């Protein structure tokens, strides 16, 4: 498909707390962007409304939407666009691609949010040129993109990389997935906030908890537990997959050195007989999933070459 300069795609990163959508041009420019809260019910309708809002914004700017892509957490079959299970969304056997395509007048792609973020990191981020790496975005929950020289590892059920549901603490806290002691109970935005509230009795976001480090013993204790658990999870990933680089992304990575330094130290300590892989913070941050969705949207219309020309752009325009 030939693309005109005015053509754009809609890229949507579906998360447990927010739907983040953007209009992206063939040059990688973010033409406009919008964020809606993720509802507890009617998520597909909310997705369609967000895409329609962005389509109208494109029209107002004399742009044409030629494709859309939605990336989502859970067990995703990219071939059929079905989400077999997504605990944070309350989905089982959701035919997401079919539901979207029947309502939208342009081609649609559905992908896994973390595998799409891994695609973006390999093409545009700190993992560019690295054959074997693991990307672990940490936000409301956490998962991993497992990438080899041959491409992303999806697994038999499309569930490879569910590091957040590796049991770390025997008989630990209940996870939303039904298991106990899962890593994301201790290492995620929601998990850290919940564990802080249980200790201190107050409700703070993970960002606010990080800001209190060094002055709030409850924040220090919860963060120490989180970084220890994350290092243990990274040691497991290292011994199973032997990645050259582990990239930490998502909102959690915005903590910077207070996350990276203790995790690197504890990972080194956990690996008695081998060197640890490099651990780096994502250069794409929370935008990696959205950028990966834009790549999938252009690929959906046969333009696999478009992202190769991209460079990181300035901050996106916010829609009222």
DSSP letters of 105-145? SS-EEEEEHHHHHHHHHHHHSTTTT-SSEEEEEBSSSB--E
Identify the pLDDT of residue 2.
Answer: 59
Identify the pLDDT of residue 316.
Answer: 36
Domain ranges of the chain: 7-117+287-309, 129-281
Q: CB of 151 within 8 A of CB of 119?
A: no
Identify the pLDDT of residue 149.
Answer: 83
Q: What is the pTM of this model?
A: 0.83
Tokens of 63: 């742009």
What's the CATH number of domain 129-281, 3.40.50.450, 1.10.3720.10, 3.30.420.40, 3.30.160.20?
Answer: 3.30.420.40
Identify the pLDDT of residue 3.
Answer: 62
Helix (H) or strand (E) holding 251: none
Distance CA 190, CA 230 (A): 15
> Averaged in consecutive runs of 10 residues, what is the pLDDT profile of the chain (320 residues)?
77 91 92 93 95 95 96 90 88 96 96 91 89 91 88 84 91 89 92 93 91 96 96 95 94 90 96 95 87 94 82 39
Assess whether the region 7-117+287-309 and the region 129-281 belong to the same CATH fold.
yes
Identify the pLDDT of residue 99.
Answer: 97
Q: At CA 126, angle to CA 122 and CA 132, rounded to 5? A: 50
| Nearest Cα residue to 207 out of 286, 128, 278 | 286
Three-state secondary-structure class, residue 247: strand
Distance CA 29, CA 195 (A): 39
> Considering the domain 7-117+287-309 in this protein, what is its CATH number?
3.30.420.40
Distance CA 147, CA 144 (A): 9
């Amino acid at each position: 498909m030939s693309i005109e300069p005015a053509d754009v795609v809609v890229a949507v990163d579906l998360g447990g707390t927010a739907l983040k959508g953007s209009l992206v041009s063939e040059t990688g420019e973010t033409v406009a962007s919008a964020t809606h809260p993720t509802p507890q019910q009617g998520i597909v309708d909310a997705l369609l409304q967000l895409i329609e809002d962005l389509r109208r914004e494109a029209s107002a700017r004399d742009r044409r939407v030629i494709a859309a892509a939605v990336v989502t957490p859970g067990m995703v079959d990219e071939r059929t666009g079905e989400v077999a299970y997504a605990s944070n969304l309350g989905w089982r056997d959701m035919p997401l691609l079919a539901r979207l395509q029947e309502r939208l007048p342009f081609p649609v792609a559905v992908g896994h949010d973390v595998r799409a973020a891994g695609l973006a990191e390999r093409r545009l981020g700190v993992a560019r040129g690295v054959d074997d790496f693991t990307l672990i975005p940490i936000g409301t929950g956490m998962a991993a993109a497992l990438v080899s020289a041959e491409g992303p590892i999806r697994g038999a059920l499309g569930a490879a990389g569910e590091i957040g549901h590796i049991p770390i603490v025997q008989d630990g806290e209940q996870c939303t997935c039904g298991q106990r002691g899962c890593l994301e109970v201790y290492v995620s935005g929601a998990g850290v906030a919940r564990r802080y509230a249980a200790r201190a009795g107050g409700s703070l976001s993970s960002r606010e908890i990080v800001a209190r480090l060094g002055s709030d013993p409850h924040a220090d204790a919860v963060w120490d537990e989180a970084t220890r658990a994350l290092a243990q999870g990274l040691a497991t990933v290292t011994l199973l997959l032997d990645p050259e680089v582990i990239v930490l992304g998502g909102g959690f990575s915005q903590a910077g050195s207070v996350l990276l330094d203790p995790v690197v130290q504890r990972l080194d300590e956990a690996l008695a007989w081998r060197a640890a892989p490099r651990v780096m913070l994502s250069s794409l941050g929370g935008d990696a999933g959205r950028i990966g969705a834009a790549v999938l949207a252009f690929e959906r219309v046969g333009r696999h070459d478009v992202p190769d020309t991209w460079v990181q752009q300035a901050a996106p325009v916010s829609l009222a």
